[in-house]
Homo-oligomer: A and B are copies of this chain.
């Protein structure tokens, strides 16, 4: 099982009119017009983009909360999903290890450092032994919710993930940082790329935090931006 295709990410749902929704939200704050009238007359993409960029630059990010994106994620380790579900402004529906019993050899991820090492075969063997013992426990009547005690962090999971654009920007800032673990960085990179494919202008906003701040505030930086004094 190659890490290259893992994690697998699909964009299931996006707003009908991302830019227009944000534009109308911005205008509503500063206009005497009814928002429905602003909505009906909003047709000029360039004009809309100019206003939205100006508002975002000034840090008023609540206007992008009105756009929600829904993703299907699979082939992602439980180590990674434990990190992902810490984001409290997101919504998750995740495959349950209590109610879904793994059959035969369970699916798992292999970190690149292990894959390239001379321990890769031992790693596969270990996973096979774990799968065997998990299967033996199930056969002996141990409930799946308890037998899973032996399943490793590398066991893959599946989720439906949804979040609004403000949270996606925040997620990108934290998890595209070089200090984030490779798997979640890859996952968030794929999520952002799917959104940017739909809305290319978002390319400048779905970036690691150093690109927004102009400096790195991590204790040890990667050199992409200078450290904060």
Contact = CB atoms under 8 A, between A and B. Distances in A.
Contacts of A126: 129-130, 133, 150
A57 B92 contact: no
Contacts of A147: 114
A119 B94 contact: no
Contact of A74 (B36, B111, B218): B36
Interface stretch (A76-84, A190-198, A199-207): A76-84
Contacts of A146: 111-114
A187 interface: no
B21 A70 contact: yes
- Copies of chain A in the complex: 4
A13 B16 contact: yes
A62 B113 contact: no
Contacts of A32: 95, 100, 102-103
Contacts of A223: none
Contacts of A160: 21, 24-25, 28, 35, 66
Contact of A93 (B26, B68, B117, B209): B26
Contact of A140 (B66, B119, B209, B218): B119
A180 to B, nearest CB: 10
Given A36-B72, A93-B29, A160-B28, A13 B15 contact: yes
Contacts of A92: 62, 86
A28 B96 CA distance: 8
Contact of A82 (B34, B85, B130): B85
A55 to B, nearest CB: 9
A168 to B, nearest CB: 13
